[in-house]
């Protein structure tokens, strides 16, 4: 056995691959029916092979009669559904065709409103031109069109109440930053900056299932199991420096950091199983 030839124990292999020991033992004994889900079998076998220095594709070819075809077909069907949803629907295409017409209609409407505004303003100005007031407050109309101020009225020289006051500058709120630091194989490390808290939620997509394992900075497993149909697990890790998340089906796994959706650096369709590490340093 390749693992024993390299003197690697099951405990050591579990730390390397982040796959539970019972699943590693199942791979060695060919007991694929105890896997958390059918589509995880090939992914776990690939991780196992890479960890002990074997070529996964050669291993799949040599043991193709032992690994049930249902696992591969399930994964292929899942990837096909993911790619199909990315295609443009007919309704979206029709909406794009109507878009120029909608913009033209809005422009014409705005132009009509502007013309109406100018016409009404010109009429109001024409009605008030040439109007003067005498000392008694009566209105006089002169041919010259000059406006005479009443003798008993003075211009209000009182400055506006806001004049001389400094304009207040609103405080700028510092936004958190979730940035990618490194990629090593199927493991991606992210940094969380400018944040006062560290809340992580891992949930399954509303139309699918995934298997996840979440471990805190003290190597304590917070959750390990299957999630499906929008169900998730949320943890407050403000007192932790990092969290390790192993996602068995990233096409159906959503990770939120302080309610911000994490964008995978590696393509989920090309890397079904991924390890995500998020490092956190609390603001002082």
Share of the chain above pLDDT 90, in %: 39
Tally of CB atoms within 10 A around 122: 10
Paired tokens of 120? 């009404």
Tokens of 87: 């295609």
DSSP 11-74: HHHHHHH---HHHHHHHHHT-GGGSSSTTHHHHHHHHHHHHTT--HHHHHHHTTTTS-HHHHHH
DSSP code, position 154: -
pTM for the complete prediction? 0.46
Q: What pLDDT score does 81 carry?
A: 54
pLDDT at 277: 96
Q: 189: which residues sit within 8 A by CB, 6+ positions away? A: 180, 181, 182, 183, 277, 278, 279
Domains of the chain: 2-86 (1.10.260.40), 177-280 (no CATH)
Predicted confidence (pLDDT) per residue in 29-68, tens digit: 878 777 776 667 778 888 888 888 888 788 778 777 776 5
Using an 8 Å Cβ cutoff, are 37 and 226 in contact? Answer: yes
Q: What is the per-residue pLDDT across 104-144, written as a single tens digit (0 to 9) for each? A: 999 999 999 999 888 888 775 555 544 454 545 444 545 44
Structure tokens at 180: 């990618």
Across 40-186, the runs of DSSP E, i.e. the strands, are: 131-133, 139-141, 177-184
Q: Is 103 helix (H, G, I), strand (E, B) or coil?
A: helix
Give residue-wise pLDDT tens across range 169-192. Answer: 555 667 899 999 999 999 999 999
């Amino acid at each position: 056995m390749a693992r024993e030839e390299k003197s690697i124990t099951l405990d050591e292999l579990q730390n390397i691959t982040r796959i539970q020991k019972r699943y590693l033992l199942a791979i060695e004994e060919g007991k694929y029916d105890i896997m958390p889900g059918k589509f995880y079998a090939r992914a776990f076998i690939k991780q196992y092979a890479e960890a002990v220095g074997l070529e996964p594709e050669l291993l799949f070819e040599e043991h193709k009669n032992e690994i049930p075809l249902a696992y591969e077909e399930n994964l292929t069907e899942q990837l096909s559904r993911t790619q199909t949803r990315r295609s443009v629907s007919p309704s979206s295409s029709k909406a794009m065709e109507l878009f120029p017409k909608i913009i033209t209609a809005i422009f014409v409407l705005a132009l009509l409103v502007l013309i109406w505004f100018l016409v009404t303003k010109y009429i109001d100005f024409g009605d008030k031109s040439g109007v003067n007031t005498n000392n008694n407050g009566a209105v006089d109309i002169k041919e010259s069109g000059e406006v005479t101020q009443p003798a008993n009225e003075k211009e209000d020289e009182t400055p506006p109440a806001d004049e001389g006051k400094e304009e207040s500058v609103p405080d700028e709120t510092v936004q958190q930053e979730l940035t990618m630091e490194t990629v090593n194989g199927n493991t991606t490390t992210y940094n969380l900056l400018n944040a006062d808290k560290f809340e992580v939620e891992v949930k399954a997509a509303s139309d699918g299932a995934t298997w996840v394992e979440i471990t805190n900075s003290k190597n304590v497993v917070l959750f390990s199991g299957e999630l499906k149909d929008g169900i998730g697990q949320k943890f407050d890790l403000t007192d932790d420096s990092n969290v390790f998340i192993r996602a068995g089906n990233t096409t159906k796994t959503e990770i939120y950091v302080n309610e911000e959706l994490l964008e995978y650096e590696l393509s989920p369709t090309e890397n079904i199983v991924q390890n995500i590490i998020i490092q956190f340093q609390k603001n002082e």
